[in-house]
Structure 1
Amino acid sequence: MSLPLEGIRDCFEGVIPATMATTGADAMPNIAYLSHVHYVDAHHIALSYQFFNKTRQNILARPWARLQVTSPVTGAQYHLALSFLRTETSGPLFENMKARLAGIASHTGMSNVFRLLGADIYRVHEVTQVPSPMLPAPAYRNPLPGLRAAVETLACCADLETLLAAMLDCLRSQFNIEHAMVLMADGARERLYTVASHGYENSGVGSEIPYGQGVIGVAARERTPIRIGHMTSEYAYSRAIRENLREDDGAAVIELEIPLPGLTDPHSQMAVPILACQRLLGVLYVESGEDLRFGYDDEDALASLASHLGAMIFLLQGAAEDAADTPAPAPPGELPRQGVPLVVRHFASNDSIFLDEEYLIKGVAGAILWNILRDYTASRRIAFTNRELRLDGRIRLPDLADNLEARLLLLSRRLLERQAAVQLQKTGRGKFQLCVSRPVQLLEQA
């Protein structure tokens, strides 16, 4: 009887090479080792195509093969009967395999050899176990109870800040994941910005990653989970981020980088896109210093959790802006008369903000703070709502789907971390107040 393919997914982690048997047009058999087998679904796998060798030649001539895979946990061996369907050279599956192959190559010292040319898709017709000695299977860690508890916790959150804090706490308490971050998408600029993290010395709130860069950027661009089980320099962020953060002439000579949080040498990484109504909202990223820390079951669980997170973000976004249609009038704030003035410098080219010559933020969050402070200095106004900011043409939000509450959360956390003389205080759903402790001087730069 054929075994279910999903029951042997631990054989596809790239720990023990697979063996593939093919025959040529002349019926001559050939045996070759494969560096990577990828589980696609209950009936398909993908094999890495890296060289035009005898195996590749045989498959194009006779599209049937036998594959032997081995469990790295128990040593159990399985035979798979396959038929070749097609080769993919781009897209989510290709990028997923490319990232995982890079980790395997780096782990084995073969980074200059293992280069993915394509992902060969095969139909699996039969899975049979080979009689052989095997070790007892370890106790199975079922992720479903943790997933259920996390979903129930997130369902009780009434605002984005609480939701993100609960999400990170659930990763730690339910999945024993100590290092994680949530990044939101800026679709207009094709970048992600960090809004929450845990397990790091610095939060990295406000740090950015372009689409397509590293594990996180590829997951965003392809909208598919990307998982790596071994350390790989190809997907490290220290180089990639610095190469892409300087982009505007208005502040080109000033350092605009907020350091991205992260482990120095992560040996396991996984980035899962956060989607709602087929729109990319952000990316959930987890990492570990252990090899093979995250398996297929972890990927399934976090993908499900990210889907629920996306739905919650989408619902809360609309609720926050609808809650403050008719804000109650607030008395004007008092202008502080004591203390050295806080010099707020705004660069119009990219909406970057500097407080007393120290970089704070840029982009939409920078435009929000600048226009709030303009209203404050002009009329002593301190009370604002999400809805009116959404309609404020000076801020130039990219589109109606842009998560304004995430921008405000990012801004308020950056101000709090810098212990700035201006702070944003939430006063209700979709409402907040500006708090100022020093006189403010605004300087507009070209």
Structure 2
Amino acid sequence: MAYDSIFSRSFSQYHELRKLRCVALLLCFIITFSLCNILKQSAVNLELSMALGLKMLIGFEKINGPQQTYNVNSIYNLSNSRSDVLEINGDIRIHGKSATVFIASSLEGFPRSWTMEPYARKGDVFVMNYVRKWKINYQVTTKSPNCVRNFSIPAILFSTGGYTGNQFHDFTDLLIPLYLTSRPFNGAVIFLVTDKRYPWTSKYKVILEELSQYDIINIDKEKEVLCFTRMIFGLKAHKEFGINPSEFPYYSIMGFRQFLRSTYSLERKSINNCRWCKIRPRMLIISRKNSRFLKNEVEVAKLAQGLGFDVMVEEIVSNLSIVAKFVNTFDVIMGVHGAGLTNMVFLPNKAVVIEIIPFGLELLARPYFQSPAKEMNLRYLEYKVSLNESSLLGKYPVDSEVYRNPGAIQKKGFLGFRSIYLDNQNISLDCGRFRETLLKALKLVCN
């Protein structure tokens, strides 16, 4: 009996242990299943968050071969320090009047929304306030607006706001980035323009028609929902007035210059060596009227002519077709730092660019034209204006920081710096000193 009692208790304990083990095993299974679901859900959330720009990667790696993608709609983040760019493939619905891009998805429960400005100067907080903000909505298909017009052609959405109207920014912020972004489509792409400025689209009509076979759509005026299966939001940009050939799509500024030469039917590809011909080298002095103008440009022109140049002093007109052909006839272009020097893109190879750098602008002015000129297969010369040649002399006390330390003025704020050195400074060149620069230019075009 004692044995039976002991056996009975042992059996009972064993049975209880088995029950406990089964319960424990069941609990482990439930917990494991729950954790898998949670982890899976978290992974989906993370994937969508990455794809939808809530944690967008800035400075996307150079693309070699297939691009990286984060979700079923194939949203590629092509942003860098200069511009925010998304390439989207899938169900895209654009409502221009509300400035909204809807990315329709069959996934339930993951609505996302963020804003972007499609202008290639995102580091400039001041100007981005004048660019229309667009909302990107990633949401379930049933909650997205119905398509009214469907397109099989891809689209590029970009802004012509910002600094548009200044020729340097027209090229740096718009035309070169638009070339980088649209050229791979070989014309089979539709431009959706926000902040549309009619003078801009009219001025660059020839270039725009070469990049796209279709009429531009003023997307801000569209009340209907336009639908695409592929679009690029924003413009790819590399640097000031240039292209990095090692970055996708692996174009170069020389390729851009060839594109312009073909677009405007420019005759001269390279300058002639004047040593072997009887024609005097031609020099264009870009005239300015409002700020940073040469007070003695007639005297400078006579000096250059006396040294052997055929000289013309002209203000650049707005008709780019005329300007392109006109500038292409010159061997040397000269001007005070400003947007007019942007026209060097139309010069023949090996031509010379002379930039007159106003007092206090040495560090600021140099990167805008010096490096681009060399990358464009042009020769660059700079002439730094001394205080004695500047109209700033006498406007401030002798020991003023304006004379002693322009860099310190710049650190106090660009608007104040601009007011002093850019907007309220004119120049009278010392012809005796400037003569050396002209002789260097003459030697370059004649050797």
TM-score (structure 1 length as normaliser): 0.26
Whose radius of gyration is greater, 1 or 2? Answer: 2
Greater strand share, structure number: 1
Greater helix share, structure number: 2
TM-score (structure 2 length as normaliser): 0.26
